[in-house]
Amino acid sequence: MNGFVDQPPMSALRDHGGGIDAARRRWGGARQDWLDLSTGINPVPYPVPVLAPETWTALPDTAAVDALIAAARALWSVPDALKILPTAGASAPIARVPGLRPPGVVCIPTPTYNEHAAAFRACGWTVQTTHGPADATVLVHPNNPDGRLWERSEVPTHGVLVLDESFCDVVPERSLLDVALKRPQTVVLKSFGKFWGLAGARLGFVIGRPDMIDPLRDMIGPWAVSGPALAIGTAALSDTDWADATRRRLSRDALRLDALMVAAGAGLAGGTSLFRLYEVPDAAALQDKLAKAHIWSRRFPYSDTWIRLGLPGTTAHWARLDEALR
């Protein structure tokens, strides 16, 4: 029994991690008192380099955009036949992609990240939540919140395909990006803020064939990414040593978090090395218990037994969580 409950209207499902201000209104404390474990953002971010003054004062020019695209192409081994479009986070293209084709039926297997269904519905699409034939399909890979990795045999061969790889940088060997080379009407989404831990930079990428990327670029418009985000993204995506070390650390910390939660009576239900999903008898009660210690977690409106936690980032944060779970 997974504790799933009847799903409320979509407007009620567009919940996200974060929201510390709302938590403060209920459980008190200053913002700096809270430990936010409700997101899947790397708590040890890439060290921001010193930026040239013109990254702040000048409109982003083509050289800065080209440098970021080159770094992304090298990191993800993107073939030359595919274009890369930097965007203001992954959320910007999620809202725009449904407008690339006339409305039809989109398959978005649930549970998953709720913004995809909201975006397609806003453009007049009908959403089906079971995996099957449709005019478009959205696969979140790894999936949020359960960490499911899709197999190539499960990728539909027809229609629009949105492959959301926002969390795939923790397991780059499992990327399905090359599907876009062989399959028409495919776009692959990449997030910068999660793995590199700099969500405030608002940087993402869309990868696909020119017939998908060119109209999307026109829809998004010029200067979609700020100068500072271009510079930081180029440095971070080029630093493969940092990425390799980070993957090893995240894997160790995910196991450490599992040990803490299992000792507290939780069962592992899935996740990635950036977030862990647990099965507990009463998710609301556990969230309340942690919130009283000013530790914020993530619950889901469709399950009363699932709770998701991100990773603590410091020794003090690990000790706080350990104490709150006792």
Q: What is the pLDDT along the chain (326 residues), one digit of tens a residue?
A: 344 333 334 344 467 778 899 999 999 999 999 999 999 999 999 999 999 999 999 999 999 999 999 999 999 999 999 999 999 999 999 999 999 999 999 999 999 999 999 999 999 999 999 888 899 999 999 999 999 999 999 999 999 999 999 999 999 999 999 999 999 999 999 999 999 999 999 999 999 999 999 999 999 999 999 999 999 999 999 999 999 999 999 999 999 999 999 999 999 999 999 999 999 999 999 999 999 999 999 999 999 999 999 999 999 999 999 999 99
Q: How far is CA 155 from CA 2, 32, 81, 180, 283, in A?
A: 26, 44, 21, 11, 33
CA distance from start to end of the chain: 26
**Residue entry with tokens 């397991």:** 171
Neighbouring C-beta atoms of residue 95, cutoff 10 Å: 18
Residue 83 near residue 208, CB atoms below 8 Å: yes
What is the distance between the alpha carbons of residues 161 and 155, in angstroms, rounded to a whole number?
8
Supply the pTM of this predicted model: 0.93
What is the distance between the alpha carbons of residues 92 and 97, in angstroms, rounded to a whole number?
9
Residue 237 near residue 70, CB atoms below 8 Å: no
What is the distance between the alpha carbons of residues 47 and 57, in angstroms, rounded to a whole number?
22
Residue 84 near residue 105, CB atoms below 8 Å: no
Neighbouring C-beta atoms of residue 187, cutoff 10 Å: 22
